[in-house]
Amino acid sequence: MYIKSIFTTVILTLFMFDVAICENTEDKDERSPTDRGAVYISGHISGSNSGGDLYEVDGHHLEEFTVVPSVLYFVASGLGFGADISLHHQKQGDFSFTTVGVGPKAGYFFGSGGTAIPFLTTGAHLLSMRDDFGTETGFGFKFGGGLILRSGNLAFSLGVSIAHQSINFDDIDETITGEQLLIDIGIGGFLY
């Protein structure tokens, strides 16, 4: 599964780069939104309410909500460093847990003068998971790429990434890990 996820991420990212390279052959503005000193503020929100025999426990639906704001400051043309904050809440009946992650992020943006900007990003998170039994801590990292479609300062992003999380459960003296293949759709803005 993990190798298949990596392969899928690479293929989708290469496709998005191909679309963006064709798009970026048009005339460029004098100043690029990813020039040194520019800032990119973005985020995505998701939520779900799942039911049926697969998701219900004692008649309770599985409810999830995630919000991830992000900021990048461009230190060189196309190269940005910043931070992510992630909040994920899951509830089913009387049981719920919340995971908060915060950490550094880096991104490289290609062909940034056009309306389509392909990018690669990576980041790491310190994680804190709180449930009815206490608080657990862990670590996560993510690598991915995608495409930003922009109109002036406003941006719409589509990305594919692979994430790995590791949570230390002290009460059972065990570390549990997992991977995710993520497809992110978000909105953002360039300040330049």
Token pair for residue 138? Answer: 């862990």
How many domains is the chain built from? 1
Residue 58: what pLDDT? 85
CA angle 116, 26, 18 (to 5 degrees): 45
More confident residue, 98 or 1: 98
More confident residue, 7 or 178: 178
How far CA 176 is from CA of 3, 74, 136, 137, 172, in Å, comes to: 20, 35, 11, 11, 10
Which residues have C-beta within 8 Å of that of residue 35, sequence separation ≥ 6?
A: 74, 77, 112, 192
What is the pTM (predicted TM-score) of this model?
0.77
Token pair for residue 104? Answer: 């550094």
Mean pLDDT in the chain? 85
Q: Residue 4 above 90 pLDDT?
A: no
Least confident of 13-17, 46-50, 138-142, 157-161: 13-17
The enclosing domain of 111 has a CATH number of 2.40.160.20
Digit-coded pLDDT (tens) for 54-84: 888 888 888 999 999 999 999 999 999 999 9
pLDDT, average across residues 125-132:
88
Range of the domain at 152: 2-191
Confidence of residue 22 (pLDDT cuts 50, 70, 90): very low
